[in-house]
Structure 1
Amino acid sequence: MKRSHLAAAAAVLLLALPFAPVPDFWITQLNYIGLFSLVVLGLVLLTGVGGLTSFGQAAFAGVGAYATAYLTTVLGLSPWLGLVAGLGITLVLALVIGALTLRMSGHYLPLATICWCLALYYLVGNLDALGKYDGLLGLPAVTLGDFSFQSERRIYLLIWLAALLAALGVTRLLDSRPGRIMRALNTNRGGGSTMPEAMGASTFRYKLVMFVVAALLASVSGWLYAHMQRSVNPSPFGIKFGIEYLFMAVLGGIGTVGGAFAGAALVKLAEDQLQAWLPVIFGGSGNYEIIVFGVVLVLVLRFAPDGLWPLIARWLPARGRRAVDENAPRLSARSHPEGGAALLDVRRIRKQFGGLVAVNDISFAIRAGDIVGLIGPNGAGKSTTFNLVSGVLPLTAGEVKLLGQRVDGRGSRDIARAGLSRTFQHVKLVPDMTVLENVALGCYLRTRSGTAAAMLGLDRAEEMQARAEALRQLRRIGLAGQAHELAGNLALGPQRLVEIARALASDPSLLLLDEPAAGLRHKEKEALAEVLKQLKAEGLSLLLVEHDMDFVMKLTDRIVVMEFGRHLMEGTPAEVQASPAVRAAYLGADE
């Protein structure tokens, strides 16, 4: 049985459970597990995928709960209007809080979410309109026409329908254009902002999207909780529950959708049992379960840092590979300049770090069809020049023109839109994504589907096009046979080729290669050289930074030589090899 079929069978079984003769206690427990899973699914996306730690998800659940409680008990409006209002208020709050906090790094973001959770807890606890710490009572049951969800067995259907739809939406999102960018952001898994920005994506925008989606899922959970309990008070929305939700995510498997349900179920069931047995063992009342959970968390982080779900998943059928239709319609392509046309014009660019001048008035030009090498001894400023041209670093002075348009002063994602793509000195792949998915990242600017379309499954045709394009680029560099392997399992040589395929997937007019042969063995260098010769034959323009002189001399049309951040000379490979100045720069001999 395929894993997708097993998941569908489990979903049907869960939704059919309240109609079976099972104890009411089971239904109550499953209701809480479903509510917790909704919140934890948001943390899977925000923390597990995006690497953004939040302790404030309980507060967003409180917004959903209090919004519907106030509208239904004080204003007498429908619970469905309460849901809409809760989601609207949550959306505004998440956008404001996210805009203020997501630019923070390190421990500042978790601290900010703790402050937000505490602030909401004490705010609702001191407002007369919200009943202070006693809360609001007498919420009406949710109805749909003449059907009431008043009983626990009936609201169970709403809770688990919401949880399963959320799981399906998050799963679809992670396997999509925006999802690939989100998965590339997690610095704990080797990601960061530099590579996604170079692919043309706004990393801050996607961090904000993840924050908002996680907040909305928590808000739905709060709405369901309020109408299940028929009352609200601040207690379930304080920092204690914010920490518990994060604990559920870590325990279950913070980077996996299945881990959200496993963690919620394990914590809820264990908590009930521990609350019954620990007071008997210790001979008195108290929150002893917190001590146990603390010990368990330390053990999980030590021996199963990816959580329990990967251990469970070993016993499930292997995930099937999605077919790639190479006959899918091709993605849109940009128009490229004719051979010999002006492509890149770098004029007297300068980069100064305080009193250090790393790049000092460098100028060179590239025409369409050229392969230009940028060489120099260690510390010559080659990689800094590379980063200035691609927009990773801002210029101190000078100008850069790409296809006749000035691009200096613009970020790397804007320069990527203008037609420049690049690889990196230190390989930047997402190790837990397949080779095909990593290359599909390069199709970002050639596709349009957003987060909502991905979660609703409306992007499948475009996804098929992107995957087909990724496979074509892998076939172009000779790695189609490894398309479905995890990128982190490849050796360094194939990883560098995957980076080139990802850059080619964006259909660039100019490709920048930053030390592509660094760290490669002789055979790997030969394979890379063959790929670059093929690209050269196809008319692709390249700017190449490299230390291996033999590698550079055999590939390039012209070479720019740098020394101590200055322009030393420019010429053909033969002219550079014959230059006494170049020999002096590399060997330290007198000119």
Structure 2
Amino acid sequence: MNTAVSSQPAAQDALNAKGSALRRYGPWALVAVIVLLPLLPLPEFWIIQLNYIGLYALPVLGLVLLTGVAGLTSFGQAAFVGIGAYTTAWLTVNLGVSPWLTLLIGLGITGVSALVIGAITLRMSGHYLPLATIAWALSLYYLMGNVDALGKYDGILGIEGLTIFGYEIGQRRLFYGLVWLFVLAASFALVRLLDSRSGRAVRALARGSQMAEAMGIDTLRHKVGIFVLAAMLASISGWLFAHFQRTVNPSPFGLKMGIEYLFMAVMGGAAHVWGAIAGAGVVKVLEDQLQVLLPMLIGTSGSYEVIVFGILLVLVLKYLPDGLWSFVDRKFARAPRKVDWHDAAALPKRAMPAAGEVLLDVQAVRKTFGGLVAVNDISFQTRAGQIVGLIGPNGAGKSTTFNLVTGVLRASGGAVNFRGQRIDGLPSRRIARLGMSRTFQHVKLVPEMTVLENAALGAHLRGRKGPLAAMLRTDRTQERELLREAERQLQRVGLGELMHEQAGNLAMGQQRLLEIARALAADPALLLLDEPAAGLRHKEKQALAEVLRGLRAEGMGILLVEHDMSLVMDVCDHIVVMEFGTHLMEGTPAEVQRSEKVRAAYLGTEH
């Protein structure tokens, strides 16, 4: 009996190892299938179908990055496909420009268009963003259909095919090779991008901008960047489409096709790179087959496949909300990241301020929301090598004060100085660059990322390599340095053994410790902690207190908002007490404990 029980973990480990191997080599198996397909005796019809799947997969890959990963819904991918298609069509037919040169020209026009459109629309949020993308997608569609030079709704005919060294590659097997070369290159580039410093920043966008900006990430710049990249993938698809069809007209580039691209992304798995290929393949094959089978079954013609697609989408959203590719992720165990950073160089550290130097100087800061005064002329200081507690009853304005200091909110009056520089009015990312890092009252993590990746997000400002370096894999030295620092901070707060776990699987107390590790990875001079002990057990609080004392000994300044008075009185050197947004008193822990005003604020007075 004992032998059978003891063998179960070993069997499970073997199963996990097998699943991890499948996960690791699964994409390469997919590549092998794609490469070998045209070598098989397939009918030409299916080769053409596979070409269409590849043409659809390129804009869907852009939507995976834009919508699935970053959470930015766009209905305009089809319009960017149209820009690439019409650019090459007009230039080759009217001016005789080489198709290979028109690819670059189309990418340039698409990039500029996406840059302008993205800079305007991506400042919107909620339902306004998809509505804006619908508006400009319709505008581009009607522009294509009403310009005489573009042939209006008849389009442009007589586009030449693609040639390599004078040999025309046609529309079938050789064209298949070109299409899927672009698809696979784009897929691996996106996989590499998401596994990088820039990729972590992009993945943080889906959780809102507040946390990302606090880590020093320029969220608008990253949004516009991935918007342009998604548009350029669509433009490549349009260039290929024009030379595949040998004719273009506005019909394939309208809003209907933009919705269909989103449908493919959702069907395959909007957050999975390889799901783009799966979604494009499933939708294209079903679309063609249903158009043939449904009239035979029903006995009458009509667009009944739309009804089937609607039912299918509902079923997928209910039973596989993350798409078909998520089934692969759930079926096979996730292989832990290979630990190859222990011999990496340590990141340069910030010079700590001199002991006793004033780090934070809050001078009569005021914040009003309409007629409500949330913070009323609060003043206090935090010095290097000092832990200052900011306490008060619920609703006293502590978190609002934190947000004023860190740039989340703009002060209505007063001034905030950090290391002698006035910072009120600066955005959070610029304040973070100066050496201030924080946690949040309500935990803000990226649940789909691992504990290690979340911690590495805090070190974003300590890296310099961008998206291109990530896609070309020239950022690996820096990446190992960032991960080494992330692991060091996780070990510091006691989460080292959980670094490969998904952050969303952690208990609340562990998530708060992870936020502290992420903040420390930024190498701050001043650390702001908003209720870090909430949800922690007694021993975890003791460990947290030791970490805070160690940071103080290193010369770091700490501003602590906390309701756990035993922790506050244990670690703080100085305490500021707030009540109803006002400064009640400040002093040492002993002075605060003796204060009748503080007791009245917390316990009330007897009348």
Normalised TM-score (structure 1):
0.97
- Among candidates 387, 390, 394, match of residue 406 of structure 2: 390
Q: How much has 1:320 moved relative to structure 2?
A: 4.6
In structure 1, the residue corresponding to 2:430 is in which secondary structure? Answer: helix
Distance 1:9 1:565 in 2: 61
Q: How much has 1:368 moved relative to structure 2?
A: 0.7
Instruction: Give the corresponding residue for 2:351.
Output: 335
Residues 37 and 352 of structure 1, relative CA distance in 2, 3 Å threshold: same
| Aligned pairs for 1:156-555 within 5 A | 156-186=176-206, 191-316=207-332, 318-555=334-571
Q: How much has 1:22 moved relative to structure 2?
A: 2.3
Counterpart amino acid of residue 38 in structure 2: P
In structure 2, the residue corresponding to 1:226 is in which secondary structure? Answer: helix
Residues 590 and 410 of structure 1, relative CA distance in 2, 3 Å threshold: farther
- Among candidates 120, 131, 136, match of residue 116 of structure 1: 136
In structure 2, the residue corresponding to 1:185 is in which secondary structure? Answer: helix
CA contact (8 A) 2:336 2:500 kept: no
Residues 586 and 108 of structure 1, relative CA distance in 2, 3 Å threshold: same
Distance 1:565 1:32 in 2: 62
- Among candidates 62, 76, 96, match of residue 56 of structure 1: 76
Normalised TM-score (structure 2):
0.94
Structure 1 residues 529-568: Cα deviation after superposition (integer angstroms, max 9, x where no partner): 2332332333321100011111100010000111111111
Q: How much has 1:443 moved relative to structure 2?
A: 0.8
Q: How much has 1:56 moved relative to structure 2?
A: 0.9
Q: How much has 1:514 moved relative to structure 2?
A: 0.4
Q: Tell me, yes or no, if structure 1 residue 69 matches structure 2 residue 86.
A: no
In structure 1, the residue corresponding to 2:458 is in which secondary structure? Answer: helix
Counterpart amino acid of residue 484 in structure 2: A
In structure 2, the residue corresponding to 1:346 is in which secondary structure? Answer: strand
CA contact (8 A) 2:352 2:556 kept: no
Q: Tell which deviates more after alignment, 554-563 or 517-526.
A: 517-526
In structure 2, the residue corresponding to 1:379 is in which secondary structure? Answer: coil
Instruction: Give the corresponding residue for 1:128.
Output: 148
CA RMSD of the aligned region, Å? Answer: 1.5
Counterpart amino acid of residue 226 in structure 1: A
Instruction: Give the corresponding residue for 1:47.
Output: 67
Residues 401 and 317 of structure 1, relative CA distance in 2, 3 Å threshold: closer
Distance 2:570 2:318 in 1: 50
Q: Tell me, yes or no, if structure 1 residue 561 matches structure 2 residue 577.
A: yes
Q: Which runs of 4+ in 1 moved over 6 A?
A: none
Distance 1:320 1:242 in 2: 36
Distance 1:111 1:97 in 2: 13
Counterpart amino acid of residue 527 in structure 1: A
Q: How much has 1:270 moved relative to structure 2?
A: 0.6
In structure 2, the residue corresponding to 1:125 is in which secondary structure? Answer: helix
Q: What runs of 5+ residues in structure 2 fail to find an aligned partner?
A: 1-20
| Aligned pairs for 1:21-32 within 5 A | 21-32=41-52
In structure 2, the residue corresponding to 1:184 is in which secondary structure? Answer: helix
In structure 1, the residue corresponding to 2:376 is in which secondary structure? Answer: strand
Structure 1 residues 435-474: Cα deviation after superposition (integer angstroms, max 9, x where no partner): 0000000111100111222222221111111111101111
CA contact (8 A) 2:487 2:499 kept: yes
Distance 2:606 2:163 in 1: 89
Counterpart amino acid of residue 545 in structure 1: V
Over the matched positions of the two proteins, sequence identity in percent amounts to 64
Distance 1:164 1:514 in 2: 45
In structure 2, the residue corresponding to 1:568 is in which secondary structure? Answer: strand
CA contact (8 A) 1:361 1:566 kept: yes
Number of matched pairs: 587
Residues 433 and 339 of structure 1, relative CA distance in 2, 3 Å threshold: same
